[in-house]
Amino acid sequence: MGDRYWLWVGARLLVGFAIVGWAISYLGTGSGEKEFQKTLDAMKQVHSFRVAFTANPRTQHNDMLWEVDCNRDIVHHQWHFVETSTTPPTEINQDQMIVAGREYDRKSDGTWEPGRGFGQGGSAKWFCGNLAQGTDSNILPQIATMIRRGIIQKGDKKTVNGVRCREWLVTLKGGVSGLEHDTVCLGDDHLPYEMTVDWEHSRSSFSDYNAPIQLEIPEAAIQPASNTNQSN
């Protein structure tokens, strides 16, 4: 009787410890959802940033660069695409600037011309408005969606472009296999510095948060502003 009593007490204690441990892991500051909420809040204070993206799904290779300046309402976007399944391989190069919602494309001689309306970018006002509202912008990681739909697990610390950050593993419904496995590396400032997506074999790096971004503004974009100031 005494042995069975102590076995019963021991089993109850083990169950109690397990419940307490689960509660601490869920309510503690290390919770993935809470960390990502801090990131969503930190991203609301971002006014400039740079994104470098590389993806190699199957027979394709994609390189993209975004430079976004919210204060000046400018987006610079470069895109290099290669499809190797064709003979010869198909290659596309695009260099685009969007200033106050107006598109400009860089020509082969280095000069700019008005855009033709099929660029891959969007206006800085749109991107920055989404950030300020805590809405996914499709350039920075989709943190709001990950909070709502993702299973978030804590990973190890690493260094990305000289910045220490902690990697978080995120599983979402989607991708070619039905499940998408992403990683997001968050710095001590709670901002993302790297993201990978398994099904598209992609990696994005994020840098220059709220730093001055030097951009070559098309002359045609400067002239309308000058004319407006003169008329006033």
Delineate the domains of the chain, giving CATH numbers in brackets: 32-212 (2.50.20.20)
Backbone phi, then psi, for 192, in 5-degree steps?
A: -80, 140
Question: Which residues does the chain have with pLDDT short of 70?
Answer: 1-30, 117-121, 175-176, 223-232
Q: What per-residue confidence (pLDDT) applies to 15?
A: 41
Q: Which amino acid is at 179?
A: L
Q: What percent of the chain has pLDDT over 70?
A: 80
Q: Where are the beta strands (DSSP E) in the chain?
A: 48-55, 60-69, 74-83, 90-99, 102-106, 112-114, 151-160, 163-173, 179-187, 192-197, 202-207
Predicted confidence (pLDDT) per residue in 155-205, tens digit: 999 999 999 999 999 999 876 678 999 999 999 999 999 999 999 999 999
Q: pLDDT value at position 173?
A: 86
